Chain A
Amino acid sequence: MNFVASSSGPLEWNYIAANFGYLASVVMFMLAIMRMGRVKTARSGNFLAAAAMLLAVVSSFVEMGKINPAFIVAGLIIGGAVGAIMAKKVQMTQMPEMVALLNGFGGLASTLVGLATFYALSGGGNLAMMMGRDGGWFGAINLVLTLIVGSVTFTGSIIAFLKLSEKMSGRPILLPMRHVLNVLLLLIPLAMGVAAVWYVNNPILVGLILIGIVLITFVLGVTIVIPIGGGDMPVVISLLNSYSGIAAALAGFTIGEAVLVVSGSLVGASGMILTQIMCKAMNRSLANVMFGGFGAEPAAGGGGGGEYVGVKSADAETAAMIMQDAQNIVIVPGYGMAVAQAQHAVREMAKILEEKGANIRYAVHPVAGRMPGHMNVLLAEANVPYEQLFEMDQINDDFRNVDVVLVIGANDTVNPSAKTDKSSPLYGMPVMNVEEAKTVFTMKRSLGGGFAQVKNTLFECPNNYMVYGDARKTLEEIIKALKEG
């Protein structure tokens, strides 16, 4: 419902019709999100959400009535075409950076809506009236918040995109005095927001102040995300996703439109839940992820010294030989599988082993990869049925009954020292008990540290064998050996 329009002038039929449209689309969004929470109904839920969006857009046209829509239509066509091309072209392994990028666009759109609303009001000379009116203070605060949240979402997402696509190093970049800097970068725009209300009768000055707020918070988005390392990206992406929803809800307050408030807060809540789940899976607080600079340097002393002792290795043929006699095999994928684009090779190998009578399961750690559910998407792309995918909690007690565990590019999530070594930065993080299996093969390019830069004591376990090399190449060698054997 548009509360700005409702407070001025008589009710027109198109206003009423449009609001029934908005109401229907809000209900559809709720039902859609409900359906998106179950595998069987997920796809139809997404379709319903898209239909709800279309209905909301059509309703908006109905509400605006007789206008010149040239600029709207141009924007819709250009944006729609770019979005469609991006969605068609993106590879599944690039999904984290795609989500980050789209999220950034949403944030910037909300910022621009805030600025545009200001210029629309000041152009008509209504600004002083709006801010001076009953409740005007709220409009002003809200406008400033929209700009801040939208801008942080934008540049934060762009940095996440650059890190995820490896156009920028995934290592944390720690600026000196970064906490003080971040606080200042937040307080200054807020103070400027107060100034904007103060100088309300000078629209040009207020406009400059608002643009200043946007520019400063652009910097804030950068300084918030650069100290966060690649492995913590699942948390950052969920959080930025939440922010983009909040920005949309705030934009809804700014223009007085309830459908934005509802949809935006639904997204804000969902992002918050995912953020919580991700933090819990790492046994770290949100504050620690955001401000900890985790993984910036090798942990001193963690895991009992840096040098590895007694690490055994095996070649692909040996791994193939042992696996083809195994009954019970669990595959543990990690970010390395995504980097090597090895998901199809994994599936091919699993198929051959299944034909030989093995029971194959996949064990997925909640924060494996670079976004929530990253591994699940990649394995689904390779046609792995989702019944074979197990959450850590479902499978963790069963590793002792497993013949062979194949770790593909996972590291911190299978590090046993997280359970035992109190000096380890990973201590307390729930990890998979892969070392309890009879035999473990760990595919890795080298013994280098994982994201947390902590020594992995799994590699020293007597039942673990390292299989060095690119995961996909190694898997192809295993497949070849299995076919010959």
Chain B
Amino acid sequence: MTAGDPLHVRVRDIVELAPSLKRFSFEPAHGGLFPTPPAGGHVMLTLRDGARVMKNAYSLVSAPMERARYDIIVRLVAQSRGGSAFLHRKVMPGDVLEMASPVSLFPLAATARKHLLIGGGIGITPMLSFLPELKARGARFELHQLAGGEEAAVFERLLAPYAAGEEIRVHGGGRAAFDLAGLLSRQPLGTHVYVCGPHTLMDAVTGTATALGWPRGKIHKESFGGAGGGLPFRAILKRSGIEVEVGETQSLLEAIEAAGVDAPCLCRGGACGECMTPVIEGEVDHRDDFLSAEEKAGGRLVMTCVSRARGPRLVLDL
């Protein structure tokens, strides 16, 4: 699945929200308006750092009804694979970037009677897109944002425009002080929960909600990648007849793309399943949220956007 031709976007302005958080605002490079994005949608930016090409997905934080600009918030990650460092250090106002049209793997459920939003750290980003949409729909919702100490004030400011008369809380005291089980056990029938944040938080929400009797269909999560790097390895693309070296800070998908192979992908965060590729030989270090535990144990499939080889080589049917 592709989302049509890429958009060319110009950086309007860059605002430093905190030492490691910057908000980038983009406008159409050739004038006009952007397509209406879905609430909770993300865009994929193509970042060209010299010869290196990175494609990173970022949630839109601007309101879904806003078409004059698209905003994203990027955290500078210490072990960045390059994307966030490039955006933070090299991209300047006026620069033109390539962006794939927004898609959403994190939609709001139309039948929900209440929406419970839980964000962890930079997982606040899709929530910022949900809030104006929920307000516009007049929907019932509640938001809990977890924040590391000094970021609580930043998140309070970002949420302030929506806070009047709503159940919006920023928890600066860390996970231990956040009563997740209490929160999930008092939700009325028909509530859907949406969580975006570190894997530990998403697993805790999924596990606690399931134990309290929430059905799978009412638990929604958005992974923001965090693929991380790993040891370098060699990938052999049997059908294409080529071999690629996957570097420490490179994903398997990026290495395949760098070799000129048009591999399928969509979310680049191990969530959507689009890049699923059959494995002919070699052991996989699975890092995605798409494959079931059985499929991962089976070792016949790999999600190229986040997963790697657990060894020196991987032979793919690609």
**A, B co-complexed:** no
Which B residues are within 8 Å of any A CB, using their own CB?
none
Which A residues are within 8 Å of any B CB, using their own CB?
none
